[in-house]
Amino acid sequence: MTRIVNSMTAFQLNMKTLYDIEKQLERALPYMVDAATDVDLKNSFQSILEETRMHSIRLEQIFEMIDMTPSKHISAGIRGIIEDTSDIIINEPSGPIKDVLLAGAARSLEHFEMVNYMTAIDEADNLGLDGVVDLLQDTLDEEEYADQKFAIVMNEDLKKIEDLDF
């Protein structure tokens, strides 16, 4: 019994952290949309912003399923990656090099999200919360797909830089 209570407490904390991660990203992504020059990258950031809003809604559904009021636990990790991204937005001139850096930053953000969702899925699975696992897995699948999309766009923008060099 104690073990279950501790596992649930750990899971609840991670739900709050994930909720903060998604909410911080909702605030940060519009700046990334504005900063991108490449239309594909700009559109990718825009669609990720819409997906991120859906991820927050899914977490709110999970909070309801486990009888919790949605609340946030500050993620210093995502804040740090967002600060790195802001540095690119503020200090790099617009163009393909900035786009490559922004796509790389987006991949850092996605990977941070992915590993946090993976942990939450393992915890929910351990607690026997099958419906919760399914919702978390839906989001993880979208995060992984987004990461692959950013990798493709980044490589296209890298080609543009190579073309500039020759």
Residues that bind Fe ion (CB under 5 A): 52, 55, 113
Q: Among residues 22 and 96, whose Cβ is nearest to Fe ion? A: 22
CB 165, min distance to Fe ion, A: 35
Q: Among residues 23 and 42, whose Cβ is nearest to Fe ion? A: 23
Give the C-alpha separation, 107 to 112, whole Å.
Answer: 9
CB 75, min distance to Fe ion, A: 12
Check: CB of residue 94 under 8 Å from CB of residue 32: no
- Distance from the first to the final alpha carbon of the chain: 67
Q: Among residues 59 and 96, whose Cβ is nearest to Fe ion? A: 59
CB 72, min distance to Fe ion, A: 14
Q: Among residues 27 and 159, whose Cβ is nearest to Fe ion? A: 27
Task: Count Cβ atoms within 10 A of the Cβ of residue 2 and give its class: 0-12 exposed, 13-18 middle, 19 or more buried.
Answer: exposed
Q: Which helix (H) or strand (E) holds 148?
A: helix 130-165
Give the C-alpha separation, 160 to 153, whole Å.
Answer: 11
CB 70, min distance to Fe ion, A: 15
Q: 135 in helix, strand or coil?
A: helix
